[in-house]
Amino acid sequence: MKRAVCPGSFDPITYGHLDIIERASAHFDQVVVAVLENRTKASLFTVAERIEMIRETTSKFSNVIVDSWSGLLVDYCKTNSVQAIVKGLRAVTDFDYELQMAQVNLQSGIETMFMATAPAHSFLSSSLVKELAHYGGDVSSMVPINVNTALKAQVARK
Protein backbone atom coordinates (compact mmCIF):
# COMPACT_ATOMS: atom_id res chain seq x y z
CA MET A 1 0.00 0.00 0.00
CA LYS A 2 1.31 3.45 -0.92
CA ARG A 3 0.80 5.57 2.18
CA ALA A 4 1.66 9.27 2.54
CA VAL A 5 1.49 11.68 5.43
CA CYS A 6 0.40 15.31 5.30
CA PRO A 7 1.96 16.62 8.53
CA GLY A 8 1.39 19.96 10.16
CA SER A 9 0.24 21.81 13.21
CA PHE A 10 -3.17 22.48 11.60
CA ASP A 11 -3.99 25.16 14.16
CA PRO A 12 -6.55 25.29 12.59
CA ILE A 13 -6.97 23.48 9.27
CA THR A 14 -7.62 25.83 6.32
CA TYR A 15 -8.88 25.44 2.76
CA GLY A 16 -5.21 25.56 1.72
CA HIS A 17 -4.45 22.42 3.75
CA LEU A 18 -7.61 20.73 2.48
CA ASP A 19 -6.64 21.40 -1.13
CA ILE A 20 -3.27 19.67 -0.61
CA ILE A 21 -4.86 16.75 1.30
CA GLU A 22 -7.47 16.19 -1.42
CA ARG A 23 -4.92 16.34 -4.23
CA ALA A 24 -2.50 14.05 -2.35
CA SER A 25 -5.33 11.55 -1.82
CA ALA A 26 -5.55 11.12 -5.60
CA HIS A 27 -1.94 9.89 -5.76
CA PHE A 28 -1.71 7.52 -2.77
CA ASP A 29 -3.74 4.57 -1.51
CA GLN A 30 -3.96 6.22 1.89
CA VAL A 31 -3.17 9.69 3.19
CA VAL A 32 -2.69 10.27 6.91
CA VAL A 33 -3.24 13.81 8.11
CA ALA A 34 -0.95 13.92 11.13
CA VAL A 35 -1.15 16.65 13.75
CA LEU A 36 2.33 17.24 15.09
CA GLU A 37 3.88 19.67 17.48
CA ASN A 38 5.74 22.63 16.00
CA ARG A 39 7.94 23.82 18.84
CA THR A 40 8.29 27.27 17.29
CA LYS A 41 4.53 28.00 17.47
CA ALA A 42 2.08 28.51 20.32
CA SER A 43 -1.23 26.81 19.58
CA LEU A 44 -4.76 28.14 19.89
CA PHE A 45 -6.56 24.78 19.76
CA THR A 46 -5.75 21.56 21.61
CA VAL A 47 -4.59 18.59 19.57
CA ALA A 48 -7.96 16.88 20.24
CA GLU A 49 -9.85 19.93 18.94
CA ARG A 50 -7.67 20.10 15.85
CA ILE A 51 -8.16 16.40 15.15
CA GLU A 52 -11.93 16.72 15.48
CA MET A 53 -12.03 19.66 13.05
CA ILE A 54 -9.84 17.78 10.55
CA ARG A 55 -11.96 14.61 10.86
CA GLU A 56 -15.15 16.58 10.18
CA THR A 57 -13.69 18.23 7.10
CA THR A 58 -11.93 15.22 5.58
CA SER A 59 -14.61 12.57 6.20
CA LYS A 60 -15.71 12.92 2.57
CA PHE A 61 -12.36 11.49 1.39
CA SER A 62 -12.52 7.69 1.75
CA ASN A 63 -8.74 7.15 1.84
CA VAL A 64 -7.86 9.93 4.30
CA ILE A 65 -7.38 9.25 8.01
CA VAL A 66 -6.37 11.55 10.85
CA ASP A 67 -3.78 10.89 13.54
CA SER A 68 -1.43 12.73 15.90
CA TRP A 69 2.14 12.20 17.01
CA SER A 70 4.50 13.76 19.47
CA GLY A 71 8.03 13.20 18.33
CA LEU A 72 9.96 13.21 15.11
CA LEU A 73 8.00 12.98 11.88
CA VAL A 74 10.43 10.39 10.49
CA ASP A 75 9.73 8.14 13.47
CA TYR A 76 6.02 8.43 12.75
CA CYS A 77 6.68 7.43 9.15
CA LYS A 78 8.77 4.41 10.12
CA THR A 79 6.34 3.24 12.81
CA ASN A 80 3.36 3.53 10.47
CA SER A 81 4.87 2.35 7.17
CA VAL A 82 4.53 5.77 5.55
CA GLN A 83 6.68 6.11 2.42
CA ALA A 84 6.31 9.82 1.68
CA ILE A 85 5.70 13.17 3.29
CA VAL A 86 3.52 15.52 1.22
CA LYS A 87 3.73 19.26 1.82
CA GLY A 88 2.30 22.29 0.06
CA LEU A 89 4.55 25.10 -1.09
CA ARG A 90 2.82 28.46 -1.18
CA ALA A 91 5.64 30.74 -2.22
CA VAL A 92 9.39 31.05 -2.24
CA THR A 93 9.20 32.13 1.42
CA ASP A 94 8.20 28.56 2.36
CA PHE A 95 11.02 27.04 0.39
CA ASP A 96 14.09 27.45 2.65
CA TYR A 97 12.37 26.06 5.72
CA GLU A 98 10.66 23.23 3.87
CA LEU A 99 13.79 22.24 1.95
CA GLN A 100 15.78 22.10 5.19
CA MET A 101 13.20 19.80 6.82
CA ALA A 102 12.93 17.65 3.68
CA GLN A 103 16.69 17.20 3.55
CA VAL A 104 16.94 16.30 7.23
CA ASN A 105 14.08 13.82 6.86
CA LEU A 106 15.73 12.36 3.73
CA GLN A 107 18.72 11.43 5.85
CA SER A 108 16.39 8.97 7.56
CA GLY A 109 15.30 7.63 4.17
CA ILE A 110 11.91 9.39 4.05
CA GLU A 111 11.06 11.22 0.83
CA THR A 112 9.22 14.54 0.78
CA MET A 113 7.05 15.52 -2.16
CA PHE A 114 6.07 19.13 -2.61
CA MET A 115 2.83 20.19 -4.22
CA ALA A 116 2.32 23.71 -5.52
CA THR A 117 -0.47 25.38 -3.59
CA ALA A 118 -3.42 26.42 -5.75
CA PRO A 119 -3.00 30.16 -6.51
CA ALA A 120 -6.27 30.90 -4.69
CA HIS A 121 -4.61 29.77 -1.43
CA SER A 122 -1.10 31.12 -1.89
CA PHE A 123 -1.50 33.78 0.81
CA LEU A 124 -3.39 31.58 3.24
CA SER A 125 -1.97 30.40 6.56
CA SER A 126 -3.36 29.32 9.92
CA SER A 127 -1.50 32.22 11.56
CA LEU A 128 -3.18 34.73 9.25
CA VAL A 129 -6.59 33.17 9.89
CA LYS A 130 -6.05 33.39 13.67
CA GLU A 131 -4.92 37.01 13.44
CA LEU A 132 -7.98 37.98 11.37
CA ALA A 133 -10.37 36.03 13.60
CA HIS A 134 -8.87 37.58 16.72
CA TYR A 135 -9.87 41.04 15.49
CA GLY A 136 -13.30 39.96 14.25
CA GLY A 137 -12.32 39.67 10.58
CA ASP A 138 -14.27 37.48 8.18
CA VAL A 139 -12.42 34.21 7.53
CA SER A 140 -15.36 32.32 6.04
CA SER A 141 -13.65 32.06 2.64
CA MET A 142 -10.47 30.66 4.24
CA VAL A 143 -11.69 27.89 6.53
CA PRO A 144 -14.53 25.34 6.56
CA ILE A 145 -17.67 26.31 8.44
CA ASN A 146 -16.95 24.13 11.50
CA VAL A 147 -13.54 25.77 11.88
CA ASN A 148 -15.05 29.24 11.49
CA THR A 149 -17.55 28.43 14.26
CA ALA A 150 -14.79 27.11 16.52
CA LEU A 151 -12.67 30.22 15.90
CA LYS A 152 -15.57 32.50 16.80
CA ALA A 153 -16.17 30.54 20.00
CA GLN A 154 -12.47 30.75 20.96
CA VAL A 155 -12.36 34.50 20.32
CA ALA A 156 -15.54 35.03 22.38
CA ARG A 157 -14.03 32.98 25.25
CA LYS A 158 -10.95 35.24 25.47
* Active-site residue list: 17, 41, 90, 126
Which residue, 99 or 120, has its beta carbon nearer to ligand PNS?
Answer: 99
Can you tell me which of 47, 65, 84, 101 binds ligand PNS, judged by CB under 6 A? 101
Which residue, 8 or 136, has its beta carbon nearer to ligand PNS?
Answer: 8
What part of residues 12-41 is at the interface with ligand PNS (CB under 6 A)? Answer: 36, 38, 41
Number of amino acids touching ligand PNS (CB under 6 A):
11
- For residue 37, the minimal CB distance to ligand PNS (Å) is 6
Can you tell me which of 7, 12, 16, 144 binds ligand PNS, judged by CB under 6 A? 7
Can you tell me which of 47, 65, 84, 104 binds ligand PNS, judged by CB under 6 A? 104
CA dihedral of residues 28, 18, 105, 95 (deg, nearest 10): 120
Site residues, ligand PNS (CB under 6 A): 7-9, 36, 38, 41, 72-73, 101, 104-105
